[in-house]
Amino acid sequence: MDKVLNFKQGRVPLLISMPHAGLRLTPAVEAGLIPEAQSLPDTDWHIPTLYDFAEALGASTLSAEYSRFVIDLNRPSDDTPLYVGATTGLYPATLFDGVPLFREGLEPSAEERATYLQKIWGPYHRALQEELARLKAEFGYALLFDAHSIRSVIPHLFDGKLPDFNLGTFNGAACDPELASQLEAICATHPQYTHVLNGRFKGGHITRHYGDPTQDIHAVQLELCQSAYMEEFEPFRYRSDLAEPTRVVLTQLLEGVLRWGQKRYG
């Protein structure tokens, strides 16, 4: 493998993780995908662009280069299921719609997948761990914001239309409840958008594994409806007219995370 991630160190105690933004495929995965999967429909499209204001805030950023169709960086390395019911694993076997991802007999081999775990999953999580450790050593605490997006209607995964902003804190275990409440309050000041805390999406492996308020590491996941900033179907165009108002809310959320940290830790 060559480049597997993009990391930029910031100057404040906040790391923004973007594990599902990658578009690269390995030859084995590309050769086996069904035609409907070749456009990478389950990608968290344009997330680095949507959050490009993070540099001005001083936040560190970490994003994936490889597609979740190769390996899902927001799943545990032992592939323990995160949700009851329909979900996807460390090595996704289906699209979000439940359709098999690979043509029969053309899934990557176990040896291929072991390489993905070692050379893609491993470096991403080492970078996460090292940056959180650096932030905690420098500031006394660390804030982690795991940035995701998803199509607003996927009957195989959930009923109806998702709220626009889906905050997840693993039912309060991944961050101080006061921080979660403040993020909810910020969302509530934008009534043109709907929001929920710990609804269908409570936070994936990154939020659950790294968020530890007892160790002064606070993690929040945001699953954002793609209808709030882009066209949800091919060619998956970024829509500035939709994205700019959404970026206002995202900026306020991240400023709120930083403000809470400063108040809590001084």
Q: Give the SS3 label for residue 227.
A: helix
CA distance 205 to 158: 19
Position 255 pLDDT exceeds 90: yes
pLDDT at site 239: 98
How confident is residue 2, by pLDDT bands cut at 50, 70 and 90? confident
Give the highest mean pLDDT range of 98-102, 128-132, 159-163.
128-132
Task: Provide the residue range defining the domain that includes 143.
Answer: 5-265
**Rg (the chain; Cα; Å):** 18
pLDDT at site 7: 98
How confident is residue 264, by pLDDT bands cut at 50, 70 and 90? very high
pLDDT at site 89: 86
3-class secondary structure per residue, 101-144? CECCCCCCCHHHHHHHHHHHHHHHHHHHHHHHHHHHHHHCCEEE
Of the listed ranges 31-40, 54-63, 84-93, 128-137, the one predicted with least confidence: 84-93
Buried b (16+ CB within 10 A) or exposed e, 112-131: ebebbeeebbebbbebbeeb
pLDDT at site 6: 97
Q: Where are the alpha helices (DSSP H) in 41-106?
A: 47-50, 54-57
Helix, strand and coil content of the chain, in percent to the nearest 5, comes to: 35, 20, 45
Position 236 pLDDT exceeds 90: yes
CATH number of the domain to which 51 belongs = 3.40.630.40
Structure tokens at 191: 């009534």
pLDDT at site 25: 98
What are the angstrom distances between the C-alpha of 191 and each of 148, 165, 231, 264? 21, 11, 22, 28
- What mean pLDDT value characterizes the chain? 95
pLDDT at site 97: 87
Of the listed ranges 22-31, 82-91, 135-144, 180-189, the one predicted with least confidence: 82-91
Of the listed ranges 19-33, 86-100, 168-182, the one predicted with least confidence: 86-100
pTM of the model: 0.95
- The neighbour count for residue 218, using CB atoms within 10 Å, is 27
Say how many domains are in the chain.
1
pLDDT at site 155: 87
Q: Who's near 56: CB < 8 A, 6+ residues apart?
A: none
